[in-house]
Structure 1
Amino acid sequence: MKSKANLYSWMGALGILALMGFSALGYQLVNGLGVTGMNNAVSWGLYITMFMFFVGLSAGGLIVSSSATVFNIPAFKVVAKPATILSTVCIIVAGIFIMVDIGSPERLLNLLLHSQFKSPLMWDVCVITLYLSINVLYLYLMTRPKPDPKKMKIMSSVALPVAILVHSVTAWIFGLQIAREGWHSALMAPLFVASALDSGLALLIIVLVLLIKFKLFTVEKKLITSLAGLLVTCVAVDAYFVFSEVLTMYYPQEESVMLILNEMLKGSMAPFFWGEVILGFVIPLAILLFSKNRQKTGLVIFSSVLVVIGVFFKRVWLLFTSFIYPHVEGAPGITLGKYIPGEDPSVVPNFWLKHGQYAPTLVELMIVVGMIAFGTLLFIVLSRRILLASSKEAQQPKQNQSRERLTAAQ
């Protein structure tokens, strides 16, 4: 009863935060994107950061879920339902951030009326729509009274490559832009997929422990240990890709590339870059490399939280480092579209910007917190509806068997 009361308290708090977020969104819709910190120099901000982050969290969950069936891993099949629920909710939240970022909902019609299939942005819209449809259908097949193994196998075989593709296409939005030195890389897609695997898996571990705590789901402790072993492998692969990318940027010493790299290593983005390295790589690897530590749930959760934070930091430095130095040859800078009064009133006010600057406003922060709260609330509702129902169905045959034995004994 206590856990149920705590759950309702959390749901109430999440509901309030979600309501505040949607209220802030309404304010933005009325007043326009001018209420955000975005500008001509930094045209993508916190919303796109969260979009990238949640696409990765979603892809990681579905990859774990579908791999259990495709590669016939019985231990992982146990967590297929919560992993798919988590994946579905994360991709819904990612889609919400895209709609928030475009400013006006009616602009979505332009995707249908004026589609440009040469654009990676349009590729992403198509693959995310497909991905969401697969998630919903996959979850529907899982929750049938008698799931068809053949259909489940087919769906898993489709879901796995699409999950990898959805994050690859998101990466190509950045990697195919030749004008942005910090993005233009063939490693961008592998980097995104690797970080999706470790962040999605880390979030799944956290969620499983919370579901157990609130008595919504039950798994054996050794499964958490096995998932932790898989997590440390994914973190190591992600760290290798980041090291390879940084080395490739540093070694030729190209002036334009070094501007970006120095900003990452010792400039304004350094706290996020080194935060990812220390929190997302070094500490989790130092803990989870030892099998005895993987058997301690507290250490596994601690490491998983650090991995999620580290991947979020990656999204921040990856997005903003390439906005700091705009490419505007032959001009004094980028116009902000407004005058910035100078210290000397006799001097013509300055409206040129030579370096990209961005800081999220209170409206943006409220919307982001609200959408995350809404996603968390949606996950709790779906989990209570699906996982508790599945638990009751699983217990019913056991109860019937016990009754039959009792009757026979009498």
Structure 2
Amino acid sequence: MKAFILLSTFLFIGLVSRGQQTVLQGLVTSQNSPTENITVKILSLNKATKSNQSGAYHFNDIPSGSYDVLFSGVGHQNKKIKITVNNDTTFLNVDLISMEANLKDVVITGVNRATELRKSPVPIAVLAKKAMDQNVNTNLIEAIVKGVPGVTAVTTGPNVSKPFIRGLGYNRVLTLYDGLRQEGQQWGDEHGIEVDEYGIARAEVVKGPASLTYGSDALAGVINMIPYSPNFANGKLKGDFTTNYQTNNGMIGSSLGLAFIKNDWKFTVRGTGKTAHNYENKIDGLVYGTAFREYNFSASARVDKHWGFSKTAVTYYDNLMEIPDGSRDSLSRKFTRQILDDGDDIKKRPIVPDNELNTYGINPLHQHIQHYRFYNTSQFKFGNSDLNILLGGQQSVRREYNHPTVPQQAGLYVVLNTFNYDLKYNLPDFSGLKVQLV
């Protein structure tokens, strides 16, 4: 009889606990008017949704308990409310304060953990996607140079730019992709950063020494390139298509991205292609050996749970770039090209025909850059602290085809394989702790 009573008690407790999946819903207003597109997030559960045109929002299957609910939206002050959910349906209405001019400081991740800009001890500049698109460029580094003061670049052709921060560059500037160190022959100036500019949502630039945090490569600063992460209603598929054309070198660039959210999962995929013929300047006209062709592919999957999140991503970069040598005819000053290996006389090289200066084809003397990246970044929460783990593998391949008589033979073939790992345990923020000495 005692065993039967004990078993019945356990079954009853299990049924009650399964039945405690409740609903949280409410209405978001501002000045007593329904407000749409307000993000409503249950912080400890990593669940989020947006208010509709009527200002209403809705959560299903919320476990019973106490939660902090954050309401945020453009043009309104953030509001956090603590609520206890213990019924079948819980209602939480909120009225937000309109904020016309003074916006809150942007939250950046260019340091050890997410923090507000005013709390960062080092100067950090944040460049959003909108600002990048407003600056006409052929690669991501050019967009950063135009949008962030104190950052310059060394360029070799239209598709190669290496960042410099306050006069220092190459191995003294660390570049990150989604927090992963960019490893790809960064010591040279004849190849750029192997990143798809169309897939970057924002760039964070740490201007100043950051070697204590990131290592010796960050002597001048850090550039962190953060890819797009979807944030919209559950069960929807969204996409974007971007194309641009530049008259100087006839560059044609197109990029297609798709994003899908299903419950706790977020998926993204993007494909990009760019091609250009030789660029033109006022003195030389079309400069022979400056055409390029670039392809990019990336995909990611992320899951958000109550314990944190985990994201796995893969990227592929492929770039064919011609190698300009600048040789010219002594009389006409027109560009010439090399056709011999042995016995090559720069004074006797043939002149490049005009029809080859304006073509999208890649000439035999070129370099082929490929970059493969696979990584996983995860965060595990333990109360007010968290453990961050980053694992990644990269392969950078560089070939230089500089034999005009044997164009299929690479004169230089360099392969760089790297494995990256990073573990960080962030303790709770004790900035507001007050200590009284007695």
The two structures share one fold, judged by TM-score above 0.5: no
Which category describes the TM-score, using the shorter chain as reference length?
Answer: under 0.3
TM-score, normalised to structure 1, is: 0.25
Larger radius of gyration: 2
Per residue, is there more strand in 1 or in 2? Answer: 2
TM-score, normalised to structure 2, is: 0.24
